[in-house]
């Protein structure tokens, strides 16, 4: 990490233009900070949070000597040719800001991802300007130095560091609150998510996408109750192995369980009638909510909850059908994850563990089928020997988000165990009764966790088709309110989620639209009303002027229908329909 440290009388800076795809939402106005240390900072490729902490330690020590409490962290890419990926750089800068506050400093941070105009007045003393460079080697040396203070003090420092990290709020929780997506209320209970209207929109769009995929794959949607008698869970073996994670209660003399998974219900639907080999594969799907008694210390925002809605699916297949079914699900999962996130995926195949059910021959066949399905996709995968479930091998698909973190999303698991425990059968061609293979499948995983991933991956600015607020109509003056109503009605009739805002100055309304991550601000003034057009402002501040209303409606509806990953940017198509181009 390289930083130019300046002790200043004052600095004024103003975000001018977004640079690159990773940037922070900010008001485009002039900012001023006085009597401060300014840290022009370049985050380098090999930097870690520990490197950033060491840099802060050195800067804080210098500030204490000067008697200065005010720090401005200023992202500045021009100090190094070996810059980190922007997602990583932004994450480290945010951590620096949080850690500096925990040191008791008054901290400001200039926005990341913007070209900025600045002027400053530097103090005249000899220490006013210093260049600092901190590397991993410096961190190692610092650790060795700290080790000499003694084991007791080191343990205390580690405990304090862990506590500080635990107090840091995950990004999706902050965004969920700011964007009115979800909340957790202590009167409802920990780990029980309340999705607000904005969150319900995101969920519904994801469900609609997966329903389309399910129909294409031949799944038929079912519904099962939220609770089953405990005797069913005893038959499946979950009562014995999963009981401490279950919510149990009694109704009269009978014990019931809030279902922690959907699979036994789907198995009972399969068992409700005699199945022929010609009927297989039987494919059932459900957006089922399950309940797991996670421990309070494990609950984290949307990522670890007690009430979980899964895009669940189960296939009951003949052994000779497994490879084809798995291949189809894999291709669908890759397509969905690419369409929604456009991020790298990492695939794992987990094989027979030491403790397992079923014969070695059956496992070898199942693993061979999964390998063949994976290899038919052409994607690289890693084999995790001995890490399969006791009831069958599995494929997991992890996605790498914009900050380089991996999230498990899709999973495909083969199950020999449940068909045996529940007596599932089909009549084969020769008239004998045989066990089907049960395939557990999810593409997104849980809607709660995937929503958290979306918020963090896109920093709250979702693709237009997922955005709760796709357009806000802003009349320049009250005289254009009538025409603004016409524009609003045209958008709503096209299925676009739009609102009309009239209160406050135009500049204030534009800022609020930006803060709320509205995909586009649609501005209508006297000229637009006279020509039947609109001027469209995107999240980067670019404007397509005097676009015919019908053209804009057609264009934004196309973004939604195609589910493009456009997060609210004017593209060349819309710019080409603007009489003033893109400015």
The string of pLDDT tens digits covering residues 291-327 is 999 888 788 899 999 999 999 999 999 999 999 999 9
Annotation says 177 is catalytic: no
Residue 411's pLDDT band, with cuts at 50, 70 and 90, is very high
Question: What's residue 297's pLDDT?
Answer: 78
Strands (DSSP E) found in 420-559: 426-427, 433-434, 437-446, 471-475, 498-500, 520-524, 533-537, 543-548
Q: Evaluate if residue 166 carries a pLDDT over 60.
A: no
Question: What's residue 127's pLDDT?
Answer: 67
Greater confidence, 124 or 529? Answer: 529
Annotation says 153 is catalytic: no
CA atoms within 13 A on the CB side of 146: 15
DSSP, collapsed to helix, strand or coil, labels residue 471 as strand
Q: Evaluate if residue 168 carries a pLDDT over 80.
A: no
DSSP, collapsed to helix, strand or coil, labels residue 401 as coil
Looking at 2, 7, 259, 292, which residue is catalytic? 292
The rounded percent of the chain whose pLDDT value lies above 90 is: 64
State pLDDT tens for residues 209-268: 999 999 999 999 999 999 999 999 999 888 887 888 899 999 999 999 999 999 999 999
CATH numbers and ranges of domains, the chain: 2-167 (3.50.80.10), 199-224+259-457 (3.30.930.10), 471-576 (3.40.50.800)
Looking at 440, 511, 514, 537, which residue is catalytic? 440
State pLDDT tens for residues 3-17: 999 998 899 999 988
Looking at 2, 7, 47, 263, which residue is catalytic? 263
Looking at 312, 369, 396, 415, which residue is catalytic? 312
Question: What's residue 355's pLDDT?
Answer: 79
Question: What's residue 160's pLDDT?
Answer: 53
Annotation says 409 is catalytic: no
Who contacts 558 (Cβ-Cβ below 8 Å, separation ≥6)? none
Q: Are 435 and 416 in contact, with CB atoms under 8 Å apart?
A: yes
Question: What's residue 128's pLDDT?
Answer: 65
Annotation says 263 is catalytic: yes
Q: What is the mean pLDDT of residues 521-548?
A: 94
Who contacts 165 (Cβ-Cβ below 8 Å, separation ≥6)? none
Residue 465's pLDDT band, with cuts at 50, 70 and 90, is very high
Question: What's residue 143's pLDDT?
Answer: 58
Q: Evaluate if residue 531 carries a pLDDT over 90.
A: yes
Looking at 5, 310, 413, 480, which residue is catalytic? 310
Average pLDDT over all residues of the chain:
89
Tokens representing 262 are 């959907």
Annotation says 161 is catalytic: no
Indicate yes or no: pTM above 0.75.
no
Q: Evaluate if residue 124 carries a pLDDT over 90.
A: no
Q: What is the full DSSP assignment across 57-109?
A: HHHHHHHHHHT--EEEEEE-GGG-SSBPPHHHHHHHHHHHHHHHHHTT-EEEE
State pLDDT tens for residues 536-563: 999 988 999 999 999 999 999 999 999 9
Question: What's residue 366's pLDDT?
Answer: 85
Residues 57-66: b if buried by 16+ CB within 10 A, e if exposed: ebbbebbeee
Residue 285: name the closest of 232, 215, 334, 229 by CA.
215
Looking at 7, 109, 275, 314, which residue is catalytic? 314
Residue 192: name the closest of 256, 258, 287, 286 by CA.
258
């Amino acid at each position: 990490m390289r930083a130019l440290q300046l002790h200043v009388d004052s600095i004024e800076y103003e975000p001018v233009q977004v640079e690159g795809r990773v940037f922070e939402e900010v008001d485009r106005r002039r900012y001023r900070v006085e009597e401060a240390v300014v840290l022009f900072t370049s985050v380098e490729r090999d930097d870690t949070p520990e490197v950033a902490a060491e840099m802060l330690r050195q800067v804080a020590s210098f500030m204490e000597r000067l008697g200065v409490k005010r720090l401005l962290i200023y992202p500045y890419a021009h100090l190094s040719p070996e810059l980190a990926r922007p997602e990583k750089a932004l994450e480290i800068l945010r951590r620096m800001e949080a850690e500096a506050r925990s040191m008791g400093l008054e901290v400001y941070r200039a926005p990341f991802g913007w070209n900025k105009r600045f002027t400053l007045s530097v103090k005249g003393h000899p220490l006013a300007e210093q260049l600092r460079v901190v590397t991993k080697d410096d961190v190692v040396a610092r650790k060795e130095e700290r080790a000499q203070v003694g084991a007791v003090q080191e343990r205390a420092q580690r405990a304090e560091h862990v506590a500080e990290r635990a107090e840091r709020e995950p990004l999706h929780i902050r965004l969920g609150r700011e964007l009115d997506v979800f909340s957790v209320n202590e009167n409802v209970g920990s780990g029980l998510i309340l999705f607000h209207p904005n969150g319900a929109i995101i969920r519904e769009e994801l469900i609609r996408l997966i329903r389309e995929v399910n129909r294409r794959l031949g799944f038929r949607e079912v519904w099962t109750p939220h609770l089953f008698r405990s005797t069913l869970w005893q038959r499946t073996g979950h009562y014995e192995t999963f009981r401490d994670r279950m919510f149990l209660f009694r109704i009269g003399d009978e014990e019931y369980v809030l279902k922690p998974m959907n699979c036994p219900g789907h198995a009972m639907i399969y068992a409700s009638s005699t199945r022929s080999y010609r009927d297989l594969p039987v494919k059932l799907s459900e957006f089922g909510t399950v309940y797991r008694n996670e421990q309070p210390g494990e609950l984290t925002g949307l990522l670890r909850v007690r009430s979980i809605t899964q895009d669940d699916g189960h296939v009951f297949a003949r052994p000779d059908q497994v490879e084809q079914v798995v291949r189809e699900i894999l291709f669908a999962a890759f397509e969905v994850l690419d369409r929604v996130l456009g991020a790298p995926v990492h695939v794992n195949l987990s094989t027979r563990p030491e403790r397992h059910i079923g014969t070695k021959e059956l496992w070898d066949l199942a693993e061979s089928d999964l390998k063949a399905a994976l290899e038919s996709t052409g994607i690289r995968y890693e084999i995790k020997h001995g890490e399969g479930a006791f009831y069958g091998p599995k494929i997991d698909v992890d996605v790498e988000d914009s900050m380089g973190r991996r999230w498990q999303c899709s999973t495909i698991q083969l199950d020999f165990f449940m068909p045996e425990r529940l007596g599932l059968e089909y009549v084969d061609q020769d008239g004998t009764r045989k066990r089907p293979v049960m395939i557990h499948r999810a593409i997104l995983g849980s809607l709660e966790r995937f929503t958290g991933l979306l918020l963090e991956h896109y920093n709250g600015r979702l693709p237009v088709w997922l955005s709760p607020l796709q357009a806000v109509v802003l009349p320049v003056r009250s005289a254009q309110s009538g025409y603004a109503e016409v524009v609003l009605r045209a958008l709503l009739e096209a299925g676009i989620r739009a609102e009309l805002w009239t209160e406050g100055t135009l500049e204030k309304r534009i800022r609020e639209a930006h803060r709320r991550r509205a995909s586009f601000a649609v501005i209508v003034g006297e000229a637009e009303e006279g020509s039947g057009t609109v001027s469209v402002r995107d999240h980067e501040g670019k404007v397509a002027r005097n676009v015919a209303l019908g053209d804009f409606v057609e264009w934004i509806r196309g973004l939604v229908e195609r589910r493009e990953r456009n997060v609210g940017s004017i593209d060349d198509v819309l710019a080409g329909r603007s009489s003033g181009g893109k400015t």
